[in-house]
């Protein structure tokens, strides 16, 4: 157990009992506990394997390379259609976790084997994501913005492209582009303030 992560398990939460049980199960698999993105993240030789997080309707284990797991129990969930690599195991109560403990461990051990083997997820290239016309125009009209966008990591670029593309109206896309331009110039991702 990493004392820097204790606050996550000690804070008031609808999932407090479930989080603690998941922590026990994962630590029993020999992973290193760290704090990343404000969540307990479990690593193998400094590579992210699984993360505990919660939502209003459920708590979950997020396997960073879940798409590479065999999912023999057919229980892994792709959070949204745009998530390429990660997959979740979702729980709505402590009994579900207790009932699936052996399956959870099997998935964690398989995820460790994925890391040991050095397997990588073939991610779609940024160029494969649609770029809204409004953003194409903004990049063409502003070479500095184009250079700043191209200097971003592929993940940050994808985040912006998805954010801009999700807007149904052109005016909303333009507004989003305008609001995000300073972040792009600062080299930051969409949710980095």
pLDDT tens profile 36-62: 989 999 999 999 999 999 999 999 999
Which domain, by its residues, includes 87?
Answer: 3-116
pLDDT computed for residue 27 by the predictor: 96
Q: 10 Å Cβ neighbour count for 193?
A: 7
Strand duo 87-91 + 59-63: pairing: antiparallel
Q: Is residue 190 part of a domain?
A: no
What are the b/e assignments for 96-122, b being 16+ CB within 10 Å? ebeebeeebebbbebbbebbeeeeeee
Do 17 and 39 lie in a common domain? yes
Do 100 and 176 lie in a common domain? no
Do 23 and 50 lie in a common domain? yes
Which CATH number characterizes residue 45's domain? 3.90.1150.200
pTM, two decimal places: 0.72
Backbone angles phi, psi at 61, to 5 degrees: -105, 130
pLDDT computed for residue 191 by the predictor: 79
Domains in the chain, number: 2
- The average confidence (pLDDT) of the chain is 92
3-state secondary structure of 178: helix
Q: Are 9 and 20 in contact (CB under 8 A)?
A: yes
Residue ending a domain, among 86, 116, 146, is: 116
Residue 148: CA count within 13 A, CB half-sphere: 17
Q: Mean pLDDT throughout 16-26?
A: 96
């Amino acid at each position: 157990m990493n004392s820097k992560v204790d606050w996550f398990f000690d804070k008031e939460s609808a999932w407090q009992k479930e989080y603690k049980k998941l922590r026990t199960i994962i630590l029993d698999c020999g992973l290193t506990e760290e704090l990343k993105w404000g969540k307990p993240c479990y690593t193998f030789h400094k590579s992210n394997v699984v993360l505990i997080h919660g939502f209003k309707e459920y708590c979950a284990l997020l396997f960073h390379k879940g798409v590479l797991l065999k999912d023999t129990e057919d229980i892994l969930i792709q959070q949204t259609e745009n998530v390429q690599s990660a997959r979740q195991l979702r729980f709505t109560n402590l009994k579900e976790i207790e009932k699936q403990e052996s399956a959870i461990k099997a998935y964690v051990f398989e995820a460790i084997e994925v890391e040991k083997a050095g397997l990588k997820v073939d991610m779609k290239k940024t160029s494969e994501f649609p770029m809204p016309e409004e953003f194409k125009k903004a990049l063409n009209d502003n070479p500095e913005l184009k250079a700043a966008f191209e200097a971003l990591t592929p993940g940050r670029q994808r985040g912006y492209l998805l954010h801009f593309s999700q807007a149904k109206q052109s005016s909303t896309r333009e507004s989003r582009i305008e609001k995000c331009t300073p972040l792009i110039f600062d080299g930051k991702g969409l949710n980095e303030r």
